[in-house]
Structure 1
């Protein structure tokens, strides 16, 4: 009986830790120039919905909050002014790396 209780407790603990490691969060992105049309982009395992000068992923994995993911998004929608989640945001150096491969000539909305 003790062994079954111990195994159940171990399984529950593992599930709790695994759940927090794979928890999804929100990432908000500010674009330097607004987009002309609503766009969906997959970057870093997250689906971003971009409209105007903002892109949002409401269920992004933690691996999506990186300069690499930002770079993948910038290739599709243009230069990024800010990229961050609930607990972390990219710094100026990361944003510079992100924008190094930003798509040029993205059609923007009238300001």
Structure 2
């Protein structure tokens, strides 16, 4: 009985660790207009480094790929043409909502 319980706990721990490991990844945003200078911005629990026409968060939680996170980013750097990671990206509708929050002086 103890061995079976120990095996179940080990399996559960391994699956939780694997899920957490897969939740973090690279998230990038393609900017419609490049930033003037290299900038760091925190949005959706991720630190984005923006340089030129791209913002990249090297290690971001899965919650960073949402329209809300995108909105926080575009408030600082302007409109984006794409936002997402390896396994998930915002669709056209979410990008539209995201870009609605863009800085008014960004084009």
Scaled by the length of structure 1, the TM-score of the pair is 0.86
Gaps of 5+ in 1: none
Following superposition, the deviation at residue 26 of structure 1 comes to: 0.6
Using the alignment, how far apart are the partners of 2:29 and 2:62 within structure 1?
A: 15
1:48-73, CA deviations, whole angstroms, 9 ceiling, x for partnerless residues?
Answer: 11000000011110111111110111
Corresponding pairs, count: 105
TM-score normalised to structure 2 length:
0.89
Q: Hey, what's the Cα distance between the residues in 2 that align with 1:77 and 1:54?
A: 10
Runs of 4+ in 1 over 6 A off after TM superposition: none
Separation of aligned partners in 1, 2:33 and 2:102:
12
Query: Aligned partners of 1:52, 1:17: CA distance in 2, in Å?
Result: 39
Partners in 1 of 2:18 and 2:69 — Cα distance?
21
Match of residue 13, structure 1, among 8, 11, 14? 11
| Partners of 1:101 and 1:88 in 2: CA distance | 21
How far residue 103 of structure 1 moved from its aligned partner, in angstroms, is 1.3
1:28 offset after TM fit, Å? 1.2
CA displacement 1:59-105 (0-9 Å, x = unmatched):
11011111111011111111011001011111110000001111122
Alignment-derived partner of residue 91 in structure 1: 91
- Alignment RMSD (CA, Å): 1.6
Q: Deviations over 1:8-50 (max 9, x none)?
A: 3222222222223333111111000000000111111111110
